């Protein structure tokens, strides 16, 4: 298992993301808000000459927007030609996980189900394995409503 995983905290929950999906992790400085959008779109932010659409993933889970002061870290990813930033609470580590992807056990909170692919374990702790693209694709639906 040579797959590398990025371990982070999102909405108070431990998550893992395959590094193939991740382009970078940056500290956000300035976010321009986008009116007429759901709470899960935090706004736009510039990364050099690129413009990122910042997704407040915690808002998707908890249902209310993250306070402005907490909007600091974001995982940057390129999803179908557009650059997105997924806000996270903290980033811990990038490492290989010898056990690889494990099936999901236990009853998962409904809010998480659309985004979770499975479980991974690191130092005896379970992490939810999420796909960044899932946060973009699945948000398109509530958006249209």
Residue ranges binding other proteins (CB under 8 A):
30, 32-37, 41, 44-46, 48-51, 53, 55, 80, 82-84, 136, 139-140, 143-144
Which CB atom, from 3 or from 143, has the smaller least distance to other proteins? 143
Which CB atom, from 33 or from 96, has the smaller least distance to other proteins? 33
Rounded to a whole number of angstroms, the minimum distance from the CB of residue 104 to other proteins is: 27
Contact 58, 74 (CB under 8 A): no
Rounded to a whole number of angstroms, the minimum distance from the CB of residue 9 to other proteins is: 23
Which CB atom, from 2 or from 49, has the smaller least distance to other proteins? 49
Structure-block tokens of residue 17:
């993301």
């Amino acid at each position: 298992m040579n797959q590398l995983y990025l371990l982070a905290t999102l909405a108070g929950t431990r998550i893992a993301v395959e590094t193939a999906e991740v382009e970078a992790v940056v500290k956000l400085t300035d976010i321009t808000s986008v009116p007429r959008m759901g709470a899960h779109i935090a706004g736009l932010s510039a990364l050099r000459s690129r413009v990122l659409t910042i997704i407040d993933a915690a808002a998707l889970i908890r249902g209310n927007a993250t306070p402005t002061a907490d909007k600091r870290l974001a995982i940057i990813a390129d999803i179908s030609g557009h650059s997105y930033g997924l806000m996270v609470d903290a980033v811990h580590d990038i490492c290989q996980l010898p056990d690889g992807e494990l099936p999901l056990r236990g009853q998962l909170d409904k809010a998480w189900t659309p985004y979770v692919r499975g479980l991974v374990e690191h130092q005896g702790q379970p992490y939810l394995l999420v796909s960044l693209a899932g946060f973009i694709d699945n948000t398109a639906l509530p958006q249209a409503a």
